[in-house]
Chain A
Amino acid sequence: MKIKALFFAACRDIVGNRELDLDVGEGSQVEDLKNVLLVKYPELATINNVLSIAVNAEYVDGNAILNPGDEVAFIPPVSGG
């Protein structure tokens, strides 16, 4: 199934894209998608332990189940203000 991944700030620099359309297996969890991306972009490991994930603009845990068309955002520690 297709999902859209969004990358911001340091994540975007590592991945080289702000947005990627990706194919993941039915029933995939956020953690599964993260693991696929860690293999493809090993440098993500440097910020993996401080990354938050949002699905459709809401923070979720790693075990959240993905659905077709979901927008999954990779969110480094925020620094607004």
Chain B
Amino acid sequence: MGNVFKIIEKTIHPDALYQDVLQDTNGAVAIFAGVVRNHSGEKRTDHLVYEAYADMAEKKMKEIGDEIKSRWGIVNLGILHRVGRLEIGEISVLIAVSSPHRSEAFAACQYAIDRLKQVVPIWKKEVGEDGESWIEGPQAAHSGN
């Protein structure tokens, strides 16, 4: 199975995708969870607010799945990203990948989170002791080519 690519508003549990990506031919499952941390640099974070362009975000996450399929032959994967207000310790993003052996699962999982941070239209607002501000990723998602 696999192929769950969703923006969701409710709590993500760490096992949410595990059962979904299992397959009898696969001996490895890699799971990555992004979790809200209590600081940003020297500043204390109270909570985060995530916003998404949900239709496009789900489409781009599915494209990441397609890239992983063509690069590693992996079809059993899923990505969930939460939106709305998240407290410290809550999961913002969960990625699960299963493959016959561990090296592909680790590599594909790393690739999925790296690509997500580059191209998927989701934004994070930090709310903390100095007020609130939208965080901008390191680069424009699309630089004109």
Q: Which residues of A contact B (CB under 8 A)?
A: 6, 8-10, 12-13, 47, 50-54, 57-62, 73, 75-81
Q: Is the interface of B mostly helix, strand, loop or mixed?
A: mixed
Which A-B residue pairs are the 3 nearest by beta carbons? A80-B122, A59-B142, A9-B123
- Please encode chain B, from 18 to 48, with 1 for each CB lying within 8 Å of some chain A CB and 0 for all others: 0000000000000000100000000000000
Q: Which residues of A contact B98 (CB under 8 A)?
A: none
List 11 extra interface pairs beyond A81-B113, A81-B122, CB under 8 A: A8-B51, A9-B51, A10-B123, A52-B140, A52-B142, A59-B142, A61-B145, A75-B53, A75-B121, A77-B139, A80-B121
Give the contacting residue for B117; candidates A73, A76, A80; CB below 8 A.
Answer: A80
Q: Which residues of A contact B141 (CB under 8 A)?
A: 52, 59, 75, 77-78
* Least distance between A60 CB and chain B CB atoms (Å): 8
Give the contacting residue for B50; candidates A13, A47, A51, A80; CB below 8 A.
Answer: A80
Closest to A6 in B: B53
Residue contacts A-B, CB under 8 angstroms, 30 given = A6-B53, A9-B51, A10-B134, A13-B134, A50-B139, A50-B140, A52-B141, A52-B143, A54-B56, A54-B142, A57-B53, A57-B56, A61-B145, A62-B144, A73-B53, A73-B56, A75-B142, A76-B134, A77-B136, A77-B137, A77-B140, A78-B118, A78-B119, A79-B124, A80-B116, A80-B121, A80-B123, A81-B34, A81-B92, A81-B116
The total number of A-B Cβ pairs within 8 Å is 94
Contact A80 B120 (CB under 8 A): yes
* Bound: A81/B32 CA distance, A: 10
Known interface pairs A8-B121, A9-B123, A9-B125. Does A79 touch B137 (Cβ–Cβ under 8 Å)?
A: yes
Residue tally, chain B, CB below 8 Å to A: 35
- Please encode chain B, from 106 to 122, with 1 for each CB lying within 8 Å of some chain A CB and 0 for all others: 00000001001111111
Contact B59 A61 (CB under 8 A): no
